[in-house]
Every structure is written in C-alpha cells, then in structure tokens.
C-alpha cells in the first residue's frame, strides 16, 4: 500500500502510515482499533484520523472508557467531568490497571458491573496474566461498584481498613441510586466487600513480579477510607480522589484532615515504601478525576488553596456568629471560574466544612 505523504497546500508532511502504526500501538478502545484497521486507505484515512481525534481527550485518552499506557505496564482510563447519567454510563472516575511479569492489579472498577467488564476486556487485550488484585481506593460508587466483574478471577480485593464498613453502610443507597441514574448500565451490579485491609499505621506491599506496589491508607481526608497506590517501578502515585484536577474537589470526610494529607505530600515529594527504605520521588500522579499530572505539587497546591480559602472564610463567619446559610451564599465564590461542576458541589463543600469548623 502506498504511503500517503502530504497535504501540500498547508506546506506540511504527514506520514500517515507512521501515525496509523503509532495509534495501533496504543492500548486504545478496541472498537477504534478495528476502525483503524478497516478504514486505513488513501481515500478514507483522513476520515478515520478525524474520527479518532474527535473522540480523544486533551490527554490522548480515548473517550468512553478507552485506555492509554501512561508508563510501562501502567494503563489509565479517564472519566468524564460529569455527574452520573445514562448517557455517560457512570464512567466519570479514572480507572486503571498495572501489569507485572507475573500478575495484574486493577485500580478502581468504576460505577457498575458493566463498566468492570469493560475494564476486564481491556486487561485481556493486553495480557493473559492472572488478575490477582483489585484495589479499591475508597467507597464512592464511581470507583467501587464494578468489582464483581472480576469474580471469575478470584482476586484479593484490597481497601482501606474503614472501607468494608463504609460500603456496607451505604450498600442499598449506592445500588438503588445507580439503578435510578444509570438505568440498564447498572444491570447486575453488586457490591463486593474487600477481603484484605490496609491500616493507617502500616502500609502494604504487593509484588506483581519484577514490580512492587506500595499501598498507603490515610487518616480521614476526602473520605474516612482513602487509599493511594505507588508504583515503585515508574514513580507513579495513584492518588485517586485525594486529588481532583479540573473538576471541583468534594469533601466527604474532613477538610482539615485533607489539608494535612496534602501538606505532607507536598512537603516530602516522595514515598517511603516497605521494600525500599529510601524515600522514592513521585514522578507523576493519577488523580481520581482529571488528567495525569507531572506538575503534581502545583495541582495539589491549587486544590489546597481552594479548601484553605473555604476554611479561612468560614472561620471569619463563625467568629462573628454567622450561620451556615450565610456561609453558603458568600464563601469561596471567587473560585467559581477555577473548577468544573462548581455550582453542583461547592455549596455542599461549604456546608460540610462549616459543620466541621464550628466545633474546631
């Protein structure tokens, strides 16, 4: 097949064969792999590339649950910046998996059994190695409800020491809400309680074969059951909802605790692991929502600023005998242009923070 070389009217050279090969090398949506193979020809390659570009986010991650390899053996799928809906099928949180030489670990399983199955299909497109671990970073349904899709793999399901209780308390609420919000996409979804816990006093190391993961359980911050995953091979820290990028952070635990966790991460810039006594530098961070960041301290600083501003302004209102309703109407409004979904969640954040700070 001849190489399509140019769009000379624009004075540029485009090697479409190379682009095609590079696109196929990505672990993108299986559907688009097929589209590329079917439509690669001189007459329709431009249409194929346009279709892919339109369905790709700014980070290069396929929309709708596609996976990108963000480091050797580490695969990431970006959630959309939306609330749950039938149109997005609940794919609003970042999910991923890490492949070692002997086994695979899943990090978060999405909002439903159906989303979990799609994650599993992508794993199987990459490797036949056993899926031995499913790591759930916290209780929220967009991260935790697809776990049953991996039941045939009989993995260890791992979470924070408080996760089992948190999920059990919310089981009926979460499942009913997903049925209402997602419709058919929530079919067959069941809640899976973790079989193994990570304590806040001791981390946990997992050996994937020539690759170690280090899990850290945090005191109450975003929730009371936040867990991070550090890939020692690539310096990638999967921080999940302890960091929101672009989308507004949501308080469901402790504002003060969250600020403290961020202070510790930004001050150290590295992770202490059990198998490596040195503090290993953090190269990149995967947030719970938003793109992967290498300038992760700046991303944390932006989130820290938002939460700190809320705290400071609420303290001033409390000191004058003000009320929650006054706080909701005035606190943090200058941050509106800095965050997606601000109107949907900011008032809730102010309410939660006020309830915490009035007993400070």
Using one digit for the tens of pLDDT, what is the confidence trace for 271-312?
Answer: 988 666 689 999 999 999 999 999 999 999 999 999 999 999
Verify that 235 and 100 share a domain, yes or no.
yes
**What's the farthest any 2 CA atoms get from each other in the chain?**
77
Verify that 83 and 159 share a domain, yes or no.
yes
| pLDDT value of residue 293 | 98
Do residues 163 and 136 lie in contact, with contact meaning Cβ atoms separated by under 8 Å?
Answer: yes
Residue 61 lies in a domain: no
Residue 37 lies in a domain: yes
Verify that 81 and 39 share a domain, yes or no.
no
Do residues 239 and 217 lie in contact, with contact meaning Cβ atoms separated by under 8 Å?
Answer: no
Dist CA 290 CA 93 (whole Å)? 8
Verify that 23 and 72 share a domain, yes or no.
no
Which DSSP helix (H) or strand (E) runs through 300? helix 296-319
Do residues 186 and 178 lie in contact, with contact meaning Cβ atoms separated by under 8 Å?
Answer: yes
Verify that 196 and 268 share a domain, yes or no.
yes
Give the domain CATH number at 225: 3.60.15.10
Residue 225 lies in a domain: yes
Residue 236 lies in a domain: yes
Name 348's Cβ contacts closer than 8 Å, sequence gap at least 6.
250, 251
Dist CA 314 CA 108 (whole Å)? 34
Burial class (CB in 10 A: 0-12, 13-18, 19+), 341: middle
Dist CA 104 CA 150 (whole Å)? 12
Residue 14 lies in a domain: yes
Verify that 25 and 140 share a domain, yes or no.
no
Residue 302 lies in a domain: no
Residue 135 lies in a domain: yes
Per-residue pLDDT of the chain (360 residues; tens, 9 = 90+): 333 333 333 333 334 343 444 444 444 444 444 433 444 344 343 333 343 333 333 333 343 358 999 999 999 999 999 999 999 999 999 999 999 999 999 999 999 999 999 999 999 999 999 999 999 999 999 999 999 999 999 999 999 999 999 999 999 999 999 999 999 999 999 999 999 999 999 999 999 999 999 999 999 999 999 999 999 999 999 999 999 999 999 999 999 999 999 999 999 999 988 666 689 999 999 999 999 999 999 999 999 999 999 999 999 999 999 999 999 999 999 999 999 999 999 999 999 999 999 999
Verify that 82 and 196 share a domain, yes or no.
yes
The range of the structural domain enclosing residue 18 comes to 6-54
Dist CA 115 CA 245 (whole Å)? 22
Query: Where among 271, 295, 319 does a domain terminate?
Result: 295
Verify that 90 and 237 share a domain, yes or no.
yes
Do residues 67 and 96 lie in contact, with contact meaning Cβ atoms separated by under 8 Å?
Answer: yes
Do residues 305 and 266 lie in contact, with contact meaning Cβ atoms separated by under 8 Å?
Answer: no
Verify that 349 and 327 share a domain, yes or no.
yes
Verify that 86 and 126 share a domain, yes or no.
yes
Cβ of 131: how many Cβ atoms within 10 Å? 21
Dist CA 262 CA 108 (whole Å)? 21
Verify that 315 and 232 share a domain, yes or no.
no
Verify that 315 and 339 share a domain, yes or no.
yes
Dist CA 227 CA 152 (whole Å)? 25
| pLDDT value of residue 273 | 84
Name 83's Cβ contacts closer than 8 Å, sequence gap at least 6.
92, 341, 344
* pTM, full prediction: 0.83
Domain count, the chain: 3
Residue 300 lies in a domain: no
């Amino acid at each position: 097949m001849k190489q399509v070389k140019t769009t000379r009217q624009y004075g540029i050279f485009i090697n479409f064969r190379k682009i095609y090969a590079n696109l196929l090398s990505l672990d993108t949506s299986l559907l688009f792999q097929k589209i590329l193979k079917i439509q690669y020809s001189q007459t329709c390659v431009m249409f194929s590339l346009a279709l892919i570009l339109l369905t790709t986010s700014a980070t290069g991650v396929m929309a709708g649950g596609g996976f990108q390899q963000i480091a050797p053996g580490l695969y990431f799928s970006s959630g959309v910046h939306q609330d749950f809906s039938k149109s997005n099928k609940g794919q609003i949180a970042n999910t991923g998996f890490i492949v070692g030489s002997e086994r695979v670990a899943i990090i978060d399983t999405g909002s439903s059994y159906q989303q979990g199955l799609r994650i599993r299909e992508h794993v199987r497109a990459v490797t036949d190695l056993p899926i031995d671990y499913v790591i759930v970073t916290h209780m929220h349904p967009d991260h935790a409800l697809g776990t049953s899709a991996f039941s045939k793999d009989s993995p260890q399901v791992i979470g924070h020491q408080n996760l089992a209780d948190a999920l059990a308390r919310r089981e009926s609420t979460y499942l009913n809400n997903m049925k209402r919000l997602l419709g058919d996409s929530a079919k067959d979804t069941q809640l899976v309680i973790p079989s193994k816990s990570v304590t806040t006093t001791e981390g946990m190391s997992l050996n994937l074969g020539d690759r170690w993961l280090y899990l850290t359980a945090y005191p109450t911050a975003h929730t009371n059951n936040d867990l991070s995953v550090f890939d020692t091979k690539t310096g990638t820290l999967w921080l999940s909802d302890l960091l929101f990028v672009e989308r507004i952070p949501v308080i469901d635990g402790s504002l003060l605790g969250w600020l403290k966790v961020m202070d510790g991460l930004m001050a150290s810039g590295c992770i202490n692991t059990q198998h490596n006594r040195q503090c290993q530098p953090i190269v990149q961070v995967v947030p719970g929502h938003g793109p992967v960041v290498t300038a992760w301290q700046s991303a944390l600083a932006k989130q820290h600023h938002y939460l700190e501003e809320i705290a400071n302004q609420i303290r001033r209102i409390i000191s004058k005998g003000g009320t929650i309703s006054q706080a909701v109407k005035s606190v943090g409004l200058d941050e509106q242009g800095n965050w997606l979904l601000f109107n949907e969640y900011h008032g809730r954040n102010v309410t939660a923070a006020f309830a915490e700070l009035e007993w400070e």
